[in-house]
Structure 1
Amino acid sequence: MAVTSQKTSSPGHTAGSLRRDVGFWGLLFVSLGSIIGSGWLLGALTAASLAGPASILTWVLAAAMLTVLALVHAELGAAYPFAGGTARFPGFAFGPLAGFSAGWMAWLQAVTIAPIEVEATLSYTDHIGWVKDHLTLLHTDGTLTNAGIAVASCFMLAFTAVNIVGVRLLAETNAVTVIWKTAVPLFTVVVLMTLAFHGSNFTAGGGFAPHGAHGVFAALPAGVVFALQGFEQAVQMAGEARNPQRDVSRAVIVATAIGTVVYILLEVAFIGALDPGHLLHGWANPIGEGDFGPYATLAIGAGAGWLAVMLYIDAVVSPAGTGLVYIATSSRLSYALGRQKSLPGGVTKVNRRGAPIASILLAFIMGEIAFLPFPSWQSLVGLVTSATAIMYAFAPVALHALRLRHPEQPRPYRLPAWRLLSPVAFVSANLLIYWSGYQAAWKLGLAMLIGLLLLAATRATTPAAERTALLVRASAWVWPWLGGLVVIGRFGRYGGSNTLPNWWDLLVVVAFGLAVYYGAVRLALSTEEVDKAVVAEGELDAAADPVTASTV
């Protein structure tokens, strides 16, 4: 028994439902706009500082790992086009408790990214022109001053206003910024490689890989994975797509491909444009002065001051565009969790334009909290990277379970060689979590405990007749998996005690990941239980949205 969707002749909308206004280009720009944000402005410098010229391999490795995860999400998003999909796929396969665990982690990373993008913008603008002379936006440790909090709040208010107006304005606004923020990095690559390219830089400062494989791996969570993540945004907004079965998978795949090419070219151009004199003593400070605006500094050094002006403008446009999208994403995730009775029902309220206004306002409040004196952009990136990897990891194991338990569900896009690539995707996510470091792992474990307490409180205040069974047995693998990763991190070399020998630590992560993966698949819900969960979601969406008619 499978749920399929038939589109009606025209998009409609009823009070209390999300609007289905977004086409392929809107979905593409949502994902691509998330991928190209502050990561391109700051990620290349951070990666080169840790890995030297071998940072190019870091981008290639990250792109390969995230591409496999993107293909997994492409299949799931097209087959199960519900808003906040990353919170729903694990729930279909492993029950509400697993669904909440994935959704809670997805929401935590999404709600944090918008303020991080704003902080990246302020990091650039705090050191230029009128702002430098009249305002101090950042303390020396990278945290926001009172003036910085005020300016950052204005950005958040603007993001919130666009989202409240509705998804169509969001898509149209985002489309304009994405075209700009994709063109500027590519133009920067051409200019820097034309005016200032030193081939000798790729073997300077200790050779191509001055810190070996460890440097390549350490650079992954220090800005590289953070930069490339975001492909799943089209999946999160599938509940507002006009033709999700056709468009979601295409948007995810195309956005990932474009983002990969852009970032690898940027790293090559960055390394080639560096002043060779700054590399005589290694890669600890390859740019010299100008750490807060590395590409602008290189442009000025190459005699292209006009490009530096364009880059400072882009330092506002690129992160702002990504922040705009992540306000939308986090609100759709909390909306999905509310629909599942995992969060208070108030987060499911939508306005007359079909925007989940309560969830949008919640995202704004959480963003404001993130502006308090917490660590700077670079420090937060590792934590967000780990949270994102945990969110991504639920998808491949859910795909495998749903292929076995729900084989009749129409799948407009199918992951090729899924029995091989699906476990590879899960292991890739586990490695990203490990490389993000022990500090990030245990903090996210604590955050998950807080989420479970919130779930318990929500269920305690929900009438018994409205509560769904948690189906704990099917999700019994989640906590041993997360706990195991924390333990491995404790004894690993990335923030741990370095007890596990080099390379053996990676073998332990891979073996542990595969054991969890196949154990989880065995624990998945039965075909009847999966059918019941998917049909319930389909009927709920059909009742609220006249655009789709579910047939069972």
Structure 2
Amino acid sequence: MTKPHTAGGDSTAGARHLRRAVGFWGLMFISLGSIIGSGWLLGALTTAVIAGPASLVSWVLASAMLAVLALAHAELGATYPVAGGTARFPFFAFGPLVGFTAGWMSWLRSVLISPIEVEATLSYLDRIGWIHDRVHMLHANGTLTAAGLVIGTGFMLLFTLINVLGVQLLSSTNSVTAVIKTAVPLLTVVVLMTLAFHGGNFTAGGGFAPNGAHGVFAALPAGVVFALLGFEQAIQLAGEARDPQRDVSRAVIVAMAIGTVLYLLLQAAFIAALDPAALAHGWAHPVGEGNFGPYATLATVVGASWLATILYVDAVISPAGTGLVYMAGAARLSYAMGRERVLPRPLARIGRRRVPVVSILLAFVVGELAFLPFPSWQALVGLVTSAAAVMYAFAPVALHALRVRDGGRPRPYRLPAWSVLAPAGFVFANLIFYWSGYEADWKLGIAALLGFAVLALTRRGIPAAERSGLRWRSSAWVLPWLGGMVLIAHFGRYGGTGALPNWWDLAIVIALSLAVHYTAVRLAIPPDAVNAAVQHEEAGESVPQQPPPT
């Protein structure tokens, strides 16, 4: 039997265990570096076109909803500090089938973000005249040219190399880029607010909310939620944290707070710096039709061309840093599902530097495939946001179930008012899923069915005597929930038929969410099964011993 670690080291670890080498600052910057990616470069323009100045309300609303989900993840990550946590918390509460569904959605979303961030970088750089004249990276519809594919592959290979060389290098590299990624947006806010502040813009072009509440909600999946995604990346790497019970929850909370404040300031600075004449006829083209580098354009207009140069450099650093971290997160998710034997066992293989090498290589291969069929950054944002909403929804319902079934376990961080905020978090995630639109939601439904096919094929390769039960009864709520949400989206007002009246659609989503949440809690697996699953996973990862309850 492998001896558990102490919180401060990993000297006793076997070669099959992940290396525990990441401290609080490394974890915090991993989450913050994921939050600050291409979303800050592109999100403000997209949301302003949809919601006008009321896009500020969209950011506040998204921040409040995601804060509840982040706090739920913070408790789970500190209580169960294992790699690929978003796949494993539902596994502990409901068994392998639910754990796989959560993990598949989380992996799908994470593995797509690295190529999305690379495409954002190439899209930004392709608008620079002297680069575009020498290397044409994008076709008119946003797909990569041959040169773009080669350069994009270079980025993906760099991400892969850093991940394979070890988690300490990953943490150090990301911490440096995260500091730069935070400093540049703050500098942008200060410069734009100082040189060009037009207070009248906040009521121009049709008033503060030209498209009403519908615009506020529609802006959420168009870039707002996508920009704030990533707080859970510290949790995905909790299996490599030096002191996860102390550091994981703090890292998530601090990163989310910094990201929220930063994005609100950026949106306000963007709106205030616009030329008032450009808003005379509405918000359709506030910085010029076809413009893809809004902050760089504004910096040039206000006479700060030096800032535009910095922004173009940051257009490489910010998305690339985020893509690097998401490749790590995707690898830990497939590693976790490989350990649970719901994906092929080789994905759980640990390399000489004690990182999941096979899972990292899989993330590279899938990322390369994602370059081929998808047209642009904006085309995938809705799908990724929808997948993230489903992934996040599993956390509050798992937390509620584990509080009931595993309530005696020490919890270094506790979600306040958990009996209220856990179901509220499930409702919030489902609302984000609904607002993502029917086009993204039905595609995600197809992806879920594909995942179940992968699960079936994986289990066929396992000898019958070694297959664990899927816990069908504890999983009975998942398909009615996902099917019901896609059905509501079909008849809803966000890409659907519009048959559901305004506000009644939201009431139906809330009612279904609450019914599913409490049903799921009642169907959770028994306490002894929860404890056995947790002990098995912790033993396999040499989780630091938790202190006895005080």
TM-score category (smaller protein): over 0.9
Aligned to 1:11: 10
The CA distance in 2 between the partners of 1:225 and 1:250, in whole Å, is 21
SS of the aligned residue for 2:396 comes to: helix
**How far has the Cα of 1:464 moved from its partner?**
2.4
State the Cα distance separating 1:551 from its structure 2 match: 10
Alignment check: 8 A CA contact 2:7 2:243 kept: no
Could you tell me which amino acid in structure 1 is paired with residue 6 of structure 2?
Answer: K
Q: Which has the larger displacement, 285-294 or 231-240?
A: 285-294
Q: Is the 8 A contact 2:7 2:242 kept in 1?
A: no
Q: Deviations over 1:362-416 (max 9, x none)?
A: 0000000000031311110000000000000000000000000001111000000
Judge conservation of contact 1:396–1:423 (CA < 8 Å) in 2.
Answer: yes
Q: Is the 8 A contact 1:124 1:315 kept in 2?
A: yes
Structure 2 counterpart of 1:343, one-letter code: L
Partner residue in 2 for 1:150: 150
Note the 1:531-546 alignment, pairs <5 A: 531-542=531-542
Q: How far off its partner does 1:466 sit?
A: 2.4
Q: What pairs up with 1:57-72 in 2 under 5 angstroms?
A: 57-72=57-72
- Does the aligned pair in 1 maintain the 2:473–2:523 contact within 8 Å? yes
The answer on whether the counterparts of 2:9 and 2:21 sit within 8 Å (CA) in structure 1 is: no
CA gap of 1:288–1:171, structure 2 versus 1, over 3 A, is same
Aligned to 1:81: 81
CA deviation profile, 1:7-34 (whole Å, cap 9, x unmatched): 2653234312210000000000000000
2:101 maps to which residue? 101
1:125-274 map, 5 Å: 125-274=125-274
| AA matched with 1:361 | L
RMSD (Å) for aligned C-alpha atoms = 1.5
Give distance in 2, aligned partners of 1:21 and 1:160: 19
CA distance in 2, matches of 1:217, 1:419: 26
2:294 corresponds to which letter in structure 1?
P
Provide the C-alpha distance between the structure 1 equivalents of 2:407 and 2:43, rounded to a whole number of angstroms.
41
Instruction: Return 214-223 or 529-538, whichever deviates more.
Output: 529-538
Structure-2-length-normalised TM-score: 0.97
* Equivalence for 1:468: 468
Verify: 1:370 aligned to 2:370, yes or no: yes
Provide the rounded CA distance (Å) in 2 between the counterparts of 1:362 and 1:104.
Answer: 14
Given the superposition, is the C-alpha separation of residues 200 and 83 from structure 1 closer, same or farther in structure 2, using an over 3 Å criterion?
same
Structure 1 length-normalised TM: 0.97
Q: 1:511 to 1:288 in 2, by over 3 A?
A: same
Aligned residue identity for 1:55: S
Counterparts of 1:9 and 1:206, CA distance in 2: 58
Q: CA deviation at 1:172?
A: 0.2
What is the CA-CA distance between 1:450 and the residue it aligns to?
0.8
How many positions carry a matched residue from both structures? 546
Deviation at 1:548, TM superposition (A): 5.6
User: Is the contact made by 2:17 and 2:540 (CA closer than 8 Å) also made in structure 1?
Assistant: no
Alignment match, 2:432? 432
Counterpart AA for 1:101: T
Q: Deviations over 1:417-457 (max 9, x none)?
A: 00111111000000000000111111111111111111111
CA distance in 2 between counterparts of 1:481 and 1:506 reads 15
1:532 partner amino acid? A
Deviates more, 1:471-480 or 1:524-533: 524-533
Give yes or no for contact 1:32–1:231 (8 Å, CA) kept in 2: yes
Contact 1:44 1:270 in 2 (8 A): yes
Q: Is the 8 A contact 2:410 2:546 kept in 1?
A: no
**Structure 2 residues without counterparts, runs of 5 or longer:** none
Q: Distance in 2 between matches of 1:9 and 1:213?
A: 50
SS in 2 for 1:518: helix
What do the CA deviations read for 1:8-65 (whole angstroms, capped 9, x no partner)? 6532343122100000000000000000000000000000000000000000000000
Post-superposition shift, 1:549? 8.9
Percent identity, aligned pairs only, is 67
Q: Which deviates further from its counterpart, 184-193 or 460-469? A: 460-469
**More displaced stretch, 135-144 vs 69-78:** 135-144
Change (3 A) 1:551 1:198: closer
CA distance in 1, matches of 2:77, 2:410: 12
Contact 1:6 1:549 in 2 (8 A): no
Greater shift after overlay, 528-537 or 256-265?
Answer: 528-537
User: For residue 511 of structure 1, what is the amino acid of its counterpart?
Assistant: A
Q: Residue 358 of structure 1 corresponds to which residue in structure 2? A: 358
Q: Deviations over 1:461-488 (max 9, x none)?
A: 1122322111110010000000000000
SS of the counterpart of 2:246?
A: helix
In the aligned structure 2, how far is the partner of 1:290 from the partner of 1:170?
A: 36
Match of 2:298 in 1: 298
Instruction: Say if 1:475 and 1:5 are closer, same or farther in 2 by CA, change over 3 A.
Output: farther
Q: Which residue of 1 aligns with 2:392?
A: 392
Distance in 2 of aligned mates of 1:38 and 1:215: 22
* Contact 1:231–1:256, Cα closer than 8 Å, also in 2: yes
In structure 2, distance between residues paired with 1:334 and 1:324: 16
